Amino acid sequence: SDMDIRDMMKKGSLHFEPRHRRISRKSEGKEKGTKEGHAKHHKDLLRHQHQMHNQPEEALETIEMPEADAAQTGEGQCLPSLQHLTEAERRPAKSPRHFNLQPPPPTQDSPPLTLVCCHTSNGALSLAVHPSWAPIGAKHFLDLVRDDYFKTDTPFFRTSTDKKSVTFGLTSDVEKSAQYLYKTIPDDPQWLPQNQTDPHQRLTRRGYVSFAGNGPNTRAAIFVLALQNTAFADTVPDTQVSWLVPFAELVGFESYRTMDSFYTGYDHGPSPSLLLRHGFNNYAKKKYPKMGFIKECHVMDDKDTNDNNIT
């Protein structure tokens, strides 16, 4: 029902809270595409965040953002293959960019690491889909991509109140959205660390992609992209049950530039129930002209031949 959809969207978005940050493509000049340019973008963003919260700049050196060691590509372009990923992107290890936690590594039986390209209204997003992180969720997302689920405009229709995440997944093809919205999948084991200041919260990292949901085993076709490091309430405290388990992360410096350009100024986005009934193009595109959207997604590469994808 419409109320079920609205309730699901509301609950799913309450777990995150994203801040808007625009990074001008022209402001970096010759630094763009260089390691120094990556570091400058990384430190400028952190400085902005710390100023907003009156935190000392010394703390800048203690936080590592994922784009600090991201792969390079041309402006507006996705990474062309898995071979273009940096080692940190291709084989996530225990490090500050993953909260000093080792993400679940692949095994001999794991499906291959897969690179997905999404072209958006703001630029290109490259996603490294890690089946070892969330086997069920990763497979379901890739099934959607291969079934051309994202081949019609798919808006980032909901921004959490503190601007730290965006929600997407309702396409302009209302029949396809309805077809997949109720095809729920079981939860994957939760591996994100607990928030030390609140054990009932889990930490998630800038650039992680998870499913949204409204209870155990409710994941379907709605997704959450974390714009900043943040925390969300654990769905079932003191257990490993949660639908907000990352299955992918942004890779490539260009992806983070694109993400940082998303407009998050709409306090109340379009109604999910009306999006499902009428589609983004027919209902919300004119009403929310600054809202970013996915134009299409496709698999770029799923043949990671180096070491058989084993870390």
> pLDDT, tens digit, for every residue of 233-285?
866 655 555 788 999 999 999 999 999 999 999 978 899 999 999 999 988 99
Q: What is the pLDDT of the chain when averaged over all its residues?
A: 81
How distant is the alpha carbon of residue 215 from its chain centre?
20
Give dist(CA 235, CA 18) in Å, integer: 19
Flag whether pLDDT at 67 surpasses 90. Answer: no
Give dist(CA 102, CA 257) in Å, integer: 26
Strands laid side by side in the 198-204 sheet: 194-195, 198-204, 230-233
Closest among 166, 163, 164, 85 to 129, alpha carbons compared: 85
Question: Comparing 29-33, 143-147, 283-287, 303-307, which segment has the lowest mean pLDDT?
Answer: 29-33
- Please give the DSSP secondary-structure letter assigned to residue 111: P
User: What is the per-residue pLDDT across 178-234, written as a single tens digit (0 to 9) for each?
Assistant: 999 989 999 999 999 988 888 778 899 999 999 998 888 999 999 999 999 998 886
Q: Are 75 and 254 in contact (CB under 8 A)?
A: yes
Q: Are 226 and 252 in contact (CB under 8 A)?
A: no
- Please give the DSSP secondary-structure letter assigned to residue 220: S
Residue type, 242: S
Q: What is the per-residue pLDDT for 237?
A: 58
Flag whether pLDDT at 117 surpasses 80. Answer: yes
Answer yes or no: pTM beyond 0.85: no
Determine the 3-state secondary structure of 298 from DSSP: strand
Which range among 36-45, 108-117, 274-283 has the greatest average pLDDT? Answer: 108-117
Give dist(CA 29, CA 40) in Å, integer: 12
What is the band of 7 on the pLDDT scale with cuts at 50, 70, 90? Answer: low
What are the angstrom distances between the C-alpha of 149 and each of 18, 141, 173?
Answer: 25, 10, 8
Mean pLDDT of 6-18: 41
Backbone angles phi, psi at 172, to 5 degrees: -80, -10
